[in-house]
Structure 1
């Protein structure tokens, strides 16, 4: 049998184009050809089609969509068209008007559900990566998509959302349409952030309803009582009231108020896809319009959620394995802690990351109040402090409860972004120690070690005073198995807690040779930067460092050579003056050739180190050093790399000051 997978991409494109030129839509082969087109064009970047090739293909699909009445055939045509236009705004902008008219016609609620779904997918693929090229289409696409999950009424003043529209989620096709609509909305919102504040509707409220749909406020403690309850159809509206969208979530044993969902894996998968696509929409809003979305944080992470943690955790600070509502509004952490679908929990983590990234300025306003009772007025700072308190607590419980390594790693990424963007001066000092102790329980899990070390770097980089008592414990863990990923943690500990770190790391530095790697040399650089005084033991350490490690590093791989130069640049004036003369000359001799290294980063690092050395009193009066340094620096004045030019100019300026 002929294997078409071995055909080169360009020949396959020619084959598809030839098929579009010769294949009549009325033949029996038209549907199989559309299916073949969809399957193959997905494997090739459609944007790689030449203009003439793209034109032939899209005209073929337009012709079929205008003349074919068979539903199954229309579905195949729309599916193939969706693959053609995906992330292909360069070509689709020339057909924006006919494409928009065609897709909006087939995505209208009057069309059969599966045809609508294919047209909706096609709208999303058209918007994906299109940027401003298709800007004139976005408003119409937005209204069209919303019509499939809400009811839009057109008035003389424009399109407005006037009433709720209930969706029958008992129908699989309806669930698929809702999922596809949310997926397409995600692509659309990522291209045009003005839609987020569009008066057509409150898009955040719509997304909220989909994220927390099929969420019950009832306690799941009595499964017999739940089975005896009549099953009602879930109602979803664009502006849910407290009575229609009630807080609660899925758990390991109960996912929703519909027992049919528990019994039907297919329905469970459909709801999971809807929730994931709704979360992706929320992520798109958080990334495209973060300042607009800040006001909605409390909707998805209500500051009362700490009551849920209190009411659902044991005296040993362990979270209940089964969700029990206490009439608190649901949170993203409700889903993260209790949804049984792994991909949903990962989607929640990615949404939290999107919310927290770049929020440092906003989070700096947070103040964690010590008041136990809330007054009638809560300031923005206190409200934000309560939200951050709940986020820290939620992450800690999630790390304790989660069993899937992939989700655990993603939760740690959430924590990394959180700690990086938080200012802890006005927050409770207990957050970071609690997070540290939670991480420590996962220390021996090899798949999480890299993520744990990254988070440790963030935690101890805050320099929080009450973390000092944990430094010794962490160093003991590090020294049991120092890997390349461990060195950044050692560097941060040395930088922020030198007095606590020095005794424990000193034996490692003195009694053993450092493994030559960028991480270990960065640690040595950080350590030497803290050695300000001219103590005999510091001078002896530098003697060994220069003669053994740095001399060997100067002939190593580029990243190690650059790190060795940075290490030289970290030596203090007092310690350099205390070095024996031959070690001073050895250090200088090692640096000269590195200033003309083949790698730009090495040249830049060597120029910086020479710029530091020229400020040392003994070298300022050394005419031989000044002459050789001037030659080495001036040789880089024509360098094409900006970093090298900046560093060499800085070194030259230092030399001029010294002279």
Structure 2
């Protein structure tokens, strides 16, 4: 004790850890185990020194001290065991991997810790000390082996039994709380450090049940009985409420209204140590996972009583003070609490709040250890649902967020709810309440919709009631997570309007974190399922709509934005000042707000927490706020481009200004905004765009826009930036230029763009190189560039360079660009003819063929585009190439690669691209399709796939490929031709056979493509083919007839192969087959005459009668 008394933590650095360990070892050597009073004192010394000074014990001394403690537990009287276990807990803390040889003694079948932590153990202090030691053993050490599965299971069951136990009358509240906290800490350590995955339903249900019980432990005014296990169920789970004594709840209620002392409790935010988190009633710190919030969001924060609660705002702490990364484990003096009844009650409530926080922290870890699809089976146990008529609402996480008197606990509950909502989009997508359901039962979709509505209601209620900035931030973040995952298109409108109107005032809140999270929420609203009609109406609202006095800063920002807009050099000249049909009646409020936050000087009225950002405090708003405004602006442009396009040039100016700043993060998001503006214009000008030509951004304005960018900071960013991510985004932005605008840029600017991208393709950074390779793949499709043989050659060489990069991402982007490059070769071949083919170097063509063949053996992301490129190059080859000995081997290898890919176990995208590629190969008349051995293999692979592949899009592409050869001789022998015919007949009969329900949506396209292929074969058939075709029709004609009639009668559609056929064209195809076959059949004599044409004429007659007479529908095919 002398050491502890004379050395303070401040000057302890002069003592080496090994000296302390040596003192402790010597003390143990001096005190024999029969001197029990001294043994107790030595253990107190171990506990005190290790805990207070965070001593790291070396392995040799640890072994000695652990042996001493274990022997003492076996030999000394029971009255010493608590002190010995406390010393043991301090020794094993963060030393679990070094304790492996002692685990049988501690955690084995008759292990000491199991004995002392047994539920039958009458001494609760002893049980608590044992559980704490066990929890400290479960702490993980990075890079060190973790507990074996058997020991993990033993510990988990021990912690679970502790949490399931009830407090008996002889145990005081504080001791019981500390016991629960130790068990919760142990479970969290197992889940976090041991990467324990909860798989068994009974294990999950039992843990969630105790966590739910502990989440509400000691919550004033509420007492619930939770079953020993929860079970996955779609319907709300029953909570049996226990009657609560009035006298229990009154002190808590009145206490919430009292002012509390402004003085922070001693030791409240102590450093991480070996002691229990509840020794002084100080609130536990929840660990790194609970604190992933900008700028230290989790602080004391008031709850959801509609009145501001002074009692909850009292223990304020600087938001940027240190956050321990684990549970807070250091004790403080118990003298903070008086011995009066009120002081004891206050202490008990503090310990109970710690249990609730510990349970919520453990729940957060649990969520990460359970598959989401399993977790959502317990949705109704933790997420509120609208109460039925006359029945109370079930308790949920929102109960804590609204009613818990502890501000930190409310914030924790909101964080857990956020984690619950994260990734819930697929689960929530079943919700539907757009129409009124009048049924005897409530569908699951309506139940989920009701839960979503109740979440909106509760969170908005909490928002209005909360006055603490830190908890407000959590509420708004939780709302943003909800908005990002809810299926609003399937819900009655109005939910987003309420969120929108209630969040507006918080954009000018005094706390910067609240303002940032409010912008995040607005970003979620404008990005969810965009464009939503409800959000379009909100964006068109007058700027003052929904604002109260606390939001008075916003209209002034709006008018400033308008003034700034008018001051721009092109104001009054822009064709966008009043483009036909696209200017909203009043400028978009959100757009102007974001621009003003990004580009205008800060407002003095709302920045009292901005001292955290001194470097930016002088001119602009704090950096996090400006970054969030930039992201919201980019989301707004992406989802609602027509709303933003009347500010097109002004937004370009904003992007330019951001890219000129010194802060790389501002530059980065400026580049992302630029990319979204470019992409918005590209989407508008697509051939299939729903936007009328007169409502699009005029090409002349787009030229002005890109001229401004290329004369601004964009080239410098691309050339000189030390930040790879920024260069990558700038590359992506440059690739979003409209091709029509690019062709109108000055020649030197066009050359600048191309030169920059070709140069960046040699970057050493894989991110930049991948972006440059992709951008070249975009540029190669530009009409003004693709006909330039020199540019095609330069781009091809650059892409081939990237295709051999060691980075898989670079190779994947290069393969995509290679596919585009080879698409260009085909376009040029069809439009420019032989002149372009002759200009392109044979050597380059051979390199393309070999590189694409090699890439087709790479991983699937590379392979899918490599096979596309192979098909194009093989289609492009001329007779001179096919005859060239240098090409012969490369052609053979590339064809074998394609055929192997069609029948491989690769992803479906790879396989359908390979089928498509073989179809392209069949288009090249220079390739010897009829007699080559590879042709037989190709037809065989496609015939197999069209019958049996589980993916219908692969079947469609294979049927399309089989219908491409234009001459009968291309199909080879009669035997091969008839094998293809038979495969297609079988495929048609199996066109509804699938185990995957999602494939059914492609079945119509599959039948269409197979029928086209069958008619194509009939139009080419020879007399020698007819006997086998006739036999096939005798056996299967009745089965396929309804499908053929359905094909003839279906309305014109563009099938999966991209081929559009109308009714008349289909009829002409059938008539052409009849005419062709009739001519052949007339030439046949006697018994050899096979009347296939009669079958087709019967089909045509049936079709004509049904069409002309508006007869009853033709009986559908089997199963349909």
TM-score by length of 2: 0.49
Label 1:53 to 1:417 Cα distance change in 2 as closer, same or farther (>3 A): farther
- From 452, 455, 468, give the equivalent of 2:521: 455
Where 1:403 maps in the other structure, the secondary structure is: coil
Structure 2 CA distance for aligned equivalents of residues 195 and 469 of structure 1? 46
Give the superposition deviation at 1:495: 0.9
Kept in 2: contact 1:630–1:652 (CA 8 A): yes
Aligned to 1:79: 86
Aligned to 2:242: 244
Deviates more, 1:487-496 or 1:598-607: 598-607
Matches within 5 A, 1:47-446: 55-69=63-77, 71=79, 74-86=81-93, 90-100=97-107, 101-109=111-119, 110-129=121-140, 133-150=147-164, 166=168, 170-188=172-190, 192=196, 194=198, 197-198=201-202, 202-215=206-219, 242-244=240-242, 253=254, 264-289=345-370, 290-305=372-387, 327-368=392-433, 377-445=441-509, 446=512
Where 2:405 maps in the other structure, the secondary structure is: coil
Aligned to 2:677: 527
Aligned to 2:1112: none
Kept in 2: contact 1:307–1:328 (CA 8 A): no
Label 1:304 to 1:529 Cα distance change in 2 as closer, same or farther (>3 A): closer
TM-score by length of 1: 0.81
Aligned to 1:465: 533
Kept in 1: contact 2:760–2:769 (CA 8 A): yes
Kept in 2: contact 1:306–1:390 (CA 8 A): no
Structure 1 CA distance for aligned equivalents of residues 630 and 401 of structure 2? 32
Aligned to 2:722: 557
Structure 2 CA distance for aligned equivalents of residues 200 and 490 of structure 1? 42
Where 1:270 maps in the other structure, the secondary structure is: helix
Where 1:481 maps in the other structure, the secondary structure is: helix
Kept in 1: contact 2:742–2:750 (CA 8 A): yes
Aligned to 2:1029: none
Please state if 1:499 is matched with 2:642. yes
Label 1:95 to 1:333 Cα distance change in 2 as closer, same or farther (>3 A): same
Residues 567-598 of structure 1 show CA distances to partners (whole Å, capped at 9, x for unaligned) of 11111322222322222112112223222234
Give the superposition deviation at 1:628: 3.4
Aligned to 1:36: 49
Kept in 2: contact 1:215–1:247 (CA 8 A): no
Label 1:571 to 1:253 Cα distance change in 2 as closer, same or farther (>3 A): farther
Aligned to 2:591: 475
Aligned to 2:964: none
Structure 1 CA distance for aligned equivalents of residues 122 and 23 of structure 2? 28
Kept in 2: contact 1:93–1:134 (CA 8 A): no
Aligned to 1:156: none
Structure 2 residue ranges without an equivalent (≥5): 1-5, 33-37, 229-237, 258-339, 540-587, 599-625, 660-666, 686-697, 826-1120
Kept in 2: contact 1:409–1:451 (CA 8 A): yes
Kept in 2: contact 1:128–1:187 (CA 8 A): yes
Aligned to 1:316: none
Structure 1 residue ranges without an equivalent (≥5): 152-163, 219-233, 309-325
- RMSD across aligned C-alpha pairs, in angstroms? 3.8
Give the number of the structure with larger relative contact order, counting CA–CA contacts within 8 Å between residues 6 or more apart: 1
Structure 2 CA distance for aligned equivalents of residues 511 and 357 of structure 1? 32
Structure 2 CA distance for aligned equivalents of residues 241 and 467 of structure 1? 38
Larger CA Rg, structure 1 vs 2: 2
Structure 2 CA distance for aligned equivalents of residues 476 and 103 of structure 1? 64
Residues 24-52 of structure 1 show CA distances to partners (whole Å, capped at 9, x for unaligned) of 155554522332123344x75x8xx66x5
